[in-house]
Structure 1
Amino acid sequence: MTRIALVVSDVDGTLVTKDKTLTDRAQDAVRRLHQAGIGFTITSSRPTIGMRFLIEPLAITLPVGAFNGSSIVAPDLTPIEEHLIPPSTVERSIEVLNEFGVDIWLFTNEKWLTRNGDGEYVPHEKRAIRADPTVVADFSPYLASACKIVGSSADPALLQRCELAMQQALDARATAVRSQSYYLDVTPPGHDKGTFVEAMAKRLGIPTDRVATIGDMQNDLAMFRKSGLSFAMGNATDDVKQQATHVTASNEDEGFAAAMEMILKENEGSGADR
């Protein structure tokens, strides 16, 4: 195995448990990566503010990728690179989500906006990102400042159909992909977790085949394709597992830590960089 110099991890369904807990074993695994001289950072569909709680316990010193990597921020959350969805694409995205009858959220760099403060997944998102939504009657004033549009639904099959319809409606004008079985994310065109991996490899001066990635959902496939080593979580769907180099245990069974321990072991056995 090529010696790994950087690990890029997804957050929800991967690094944290279902109740959004960072386990002691996961934290220890990242500490051991640091000790071994292996870089570590995170990328997620989460907004910037939703990454904050992981920075200190994981001693992250590298930039992190919010909004599926379309925004890159320093560990103190200072913006390094930000991209927005074109306003006309925001409008079209909202139209498609309305057609499917799913709950709609709009994220700017500072705010989480919703027209329905009592939406089914609002309490879940509040726990996840540790922030409250701003309830608005109309998204129109925010069309020019959208970092991400989200459609949420408890019907996975409906959301999968919505994903396909959204991709057809938007084509190359934005990236539309599910980050959870109940979340469909629309993010700026030309930027995803794969481009984040490329940006981080360039920053560190390493080839992308020395990057390892780990995730559980369709939005993680972009970074799987750009990295030399990839791990799908045991809780991932079969199509995600099929596109990963390895499959680890679930996020409820320390799958993240197990994958990091494998990287550490393989690196120790690989000798000098090659």
Structure 2
Amino acid sequence: MSIRLIAIDIDGTLVNSERKLTERVKNTLIAARDKGVKIVLCTGRPLPGVQPELEALGLVTDEDYVITYNGSLVQNVGTKEEIFSAHLSQDDYLDVSYMAQKLGVHLHVSSSDAIYTAHRDISPYTVHESWLVHMPIKFRSADEMITEPVEMIKMMMIDEPAILDAAIAQIPADFKERYTVVKSAPFYLEVLHPGASKGVGLAQLASHLELTSDEVMAIGDNENDLTMLEYAGIGVAMKNAIPIVKEVADVETASNDEDGVALVVEQYVL
């Protein structure tokens, strides 16, 4: 069965190590789109953080879709219609913030309008996330997060890689059962609704479009991409992917600095 939808992670996959979309990757994906294949960016970023890539690829119409917040939100790019969403609650915030405090790491909350932090000493990794996804940072105390609730789409435990890895090793198994917990970068551990993941978001979108998993290709490089590679008929790991992603994938392509996305799309789709 031919591929009719390609789901592509952004950082470490679609863009190179300079966070640039190369001409070869851009032209190859436009050619696939012109052939009738749905190109769907599937990212941990919010919509504002993926807008430049959507515009560069021409994925801005009512026929285009995007999966954001690591699968917590699936929507039509043009109409903004939500196909699927899974948000966190104020009780979740209390639970997750207590765990972050216990582990000694920073925490921030990603909403549709901003990144919220209860840390007056704002982590440089929160600042980095703000710059990366084009979202403002807003300070709100832990009490205010409960009394003046915001839309909580995902939470992120953040710290120096060594500190974060040590913290991850101490997270109890029951916490991981209550949430979807995935590492998206050496300094980011994302905490999502237990019913949310890139794989779930992709499956929801495929169902909406009346496609089977055999008609889907997914391309990624990190832990948060695992579920969508497992779902897709063709799961593709970048050469620069972490080992477990390569183990799960059906195919390995070149790195994000070697136009890996273009190479695999040329081979299997064009």
Same fold by TM (over 0.5)? yes
User: Where does residue 140 of structure 1 map in the other structure?
Assistant: 146
Distance 2:78 2:156 in 1: 25
Mean CA deviation greater in 16-25 or 137-146: 137-146
Mean CA deviation greater in 174-183 or 45-54: 45-54
User: Which residues of structure 2 form unaligned runs of 5+?
Assistant: none
1:180–1:224: structure 2 CA closer, same or farther, 3 Å change rule? same
User: Where does residue 131 of structure 1 map in the other structure?
Assistant: 135
Structure 2: which amino acid aligns with 1:22? L
Q: SS at the partner of 2:190?
A: strand
User: Where does residue 55 of structure 1 map in the other structure?
Assistant: 54
Q: TM-score, normalising length from structure 2?
A: 0.89
User: Where does residue 155 of structure 2 map in the other structure?
Assistant: 149
User: Where does residue 17 of structure 1 map in the other structure?
Assistant: 16
User: Which residues of structure 1 form unaligned runs of 5+?
Assistant: 266-274
Which structure 1 residue ranges, 4+ long, deviate > 6 Å from structure 2? Answer: none
> Which of 204, 213, 217 is the matching residue for 1:199?
204
Structure 1: which amino acid aligns with 2:89? P
User: Where does residue 113 of structure 2 map in the other structure?
Assistant: 110
> Which of 188, 206, 213 is the matching residue for 1:208?
213
Deviation at 1:116, TM superposition (A): 4.4
> Which of 71, 95, 98 is the matching residue for 2:98?
95
Distance 1:93 1:143 in 2: 15
Distance 1:106 1:77 in 2: 26
1:45–1:184: structure 2 CA closer, same or farther, 3 Å change rule? same
Aligned length: 263
Q: Are positions 1:255 and 2:255 aligned together? A: no
> Which of 247, 264, 267 is the matching residue for 2:269?
264
User: Where does residue 27 of structure 2 map in the other structure?
Assistant: 28
Identity in percent: 25
Deviation at 1:259, TM superposition (A): 2.0
1:163–1:263: structure 2 CA closer, same or farther, 3 Å change rule? farther
Distance 2:208 2:253 in 1: 28
Q: Conserved in 2, the CA contact under 8 Å of 1:89 and 1:174?
A: no
Q: TM-score, normalising length from structure 1?
A: 0.87
1:164–1:78: structure 2 CA closer, same or farther, 3 Å change rule? farther
Structure 2: which amino acid aligns with 1:65? I
Q: Conserved in 2, the CA contact under 8 Å of 1:117 and 1:135?
A: no
Q: SS at the partner of 1:212?
A: strand
Mean CA deviation greater in 227-236 or 256-265: 256-265
